[in-house]
């Protein structure tokens, strides 16, 4: 039993709308989407933040980015465009401390972020 919500999602203890899954990753729809398309890609293995990642995590980090691009294609927003985001720690706006990649698309996004 863990109190990490994304570890519990990866273990199948909390239902999500899955988009794709591999041995090392899971992608699913965000519970509170900020755009018409908003997905999260998580490593199954617990890594708290991008800052906590180590060289041993290099493979899974690469897989995470590639899976994010695949998720955008599956959602149909790859050609129109999307934002891939990893929020890190407090000032980065991270609220769940299990590394995750946001894939956000389906509308024009402003820059810089707030
Ligand atoms: P962060 O703010 O940490 O970068 O992003 C965390 C994201 O996880 C938020 O967009 C939030 O809506 C999403 N989230 C939090 N809890 C759940 C959950 O139980 N299920 C799903 N599908 N998304 C969640
Ligand atoms: Zn976790």
37 in a domain, yes or no?
yes
Query: Helix, strand, or coil here: 14?
Result: coil
Q: Is 99 in the pocket of ligand 1 (CB under 6 A)?
A: no
- Stretch 68-72: mean pLDDT: 98
CATH number of the domain at 79, please.
3.30.428.10
Q: What is the pLDDT of residues 16-53, one digit of tens each?
A: 999 999 999 999 999 999 999 999 999 999 999 999 99
User: Which ligand 1 atom is nearest residue 32's CA?
Assistant: 12
**Does position 114 have pLDDT exceeding 90, yes or no?**
no
Task: Note the ligand closest to the C-alpha atom of 45.
Answer: 2
Percent of the chain with pLDDT over 90: 97
**Are 8 and 15 contacting, i.e. CB atoms less than 8 angstroms apart?**
no
Range of the domain at 48: 5-105
Q: Is 94 in the pocket of ligand 1 (CB under 6 A)?
A: yes
Q: Is 34 in the pocket of ligand 1 (CB under 6 A)?
A: no
88 in a domain, yes or no?
yes
78 in a domain, yes or no?
yes
100 in a domain, yes or no?
yes
Task: Note the ligand closest to the C-alpha atom of 47.
Answer: 2
48 in a domain, yes or no?
yes
In sequence order, the 6+-apart residues with CB closer than 8 A to the CB of 80 are 105, 106
114 in a domain, yes or no?
no
Looking at the annotation, which residues are catalytic?
Answer: 100
Domains of the chain: total: 1
In sequence order, the 6+-apart residues with CB closer than 8 A to the CB of 93 are 87
113 in a domain, yes or no?
no
110 in a domain, yes or no?
no
């Amino acid at each position: 039993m863990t109190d990490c919500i994304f570890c519990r999602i990866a273990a199948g203890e909390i239902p999500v709308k899955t988009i794709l899954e591999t041995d090392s990753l899971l992608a699913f729809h965000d519970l509170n989407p900020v755009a018409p398309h908003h997905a999260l890609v998580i490593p199954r293995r617990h890594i708290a933040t991008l800052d906590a990642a180590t060289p041993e995590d290099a493979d899974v980090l690469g897989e995470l980015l590639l899976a994010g691009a695949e998720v955008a294609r599956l959602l149909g927003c790859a050609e129109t465009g999307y934002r891939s985001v990893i929020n890190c720690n407090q000032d980065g706006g991270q609220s769940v401390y299990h590394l995750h990649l946001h894939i956000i698309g389906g509308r024009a996004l402003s820059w810089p972020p707030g």
